[in-house]
Structures are given as structure tokens and as C-alpha cells.
Amino acid sequence: MAKGSGMRMKAVIYSLSPFEQKVMSGLWRDLPHKVEKKITDNWLNALCLLGPIVGTVQYAKNFKENEKQEHRY
């Protein structure tokens, strides 16, 4: 490479005005469809996560109900 034959690079800087930025708009756009897609694509993972949580809540409710009914027997 000869001396001084290089190309000069220019940098392009993109910026937005703080008044034109919409940071959260992409999050809320089409939210029901996004949630539905996540659930249908990962239904097994969702079931594995929600199963123990629902089971624990049901067990706790049943335990409290039996505790309330214990004096009747």
C-alpha cells in the first residue's frame, strides 16, 4: 500500500430530538397478539411455570378451608 493513497472515512451520526422519541410505543403496539404468540409458541414452558404456582395456591386454599371446617367434625 502506497503512502498517502488511503481513503478518508466519514462518520454518519443519527440522532433524534427528545421531543420526537417514542420509547414505549413499540411495547404496547399489538400487545394481545404478541402475548398470544408467546403463549402458543411456548405453551409447554408456560404450563411448566404456571402448573406449580396454581397447584400451590389451590393447596393453600384447600388447607385453609379444611382448617376452618375442622371444628365441625
Rounded Cα distance, 52 and 58, in Å? 10
* Residue where the block lists cell 385453609: 64
Asked if the structure places residue 25 within a domain, the reply is no
Please check whether residue 20 lies inside any domain of the structure.
no
DSSP string covering 15-66: ---TTT--SSHHHHTTHHHHHHHHHHHTHHHHHHHHHHHHHHHHHHHHHHHH
Question: Which tens digits make up the pLDDT trace of 7-51?
Answer: 777 888 877 777 766 767 777 888 889 888 988 898 888 888 889
Domain-located, residue 65: yes
d(CA 42, CA 48) in angstroms, rounded, equals: 10
Query: 5 pLDDT band (50/70/90 cuts)?
Result: low
How many structural domains does the chain have?
1
In a domain, 13, yes or no: no
pTM greater than the 0.85 cutoff:
no
Range of the domain at 71: 45-73
**Does position 55 have pLDDT exceeding 70, yes or no?**
yes
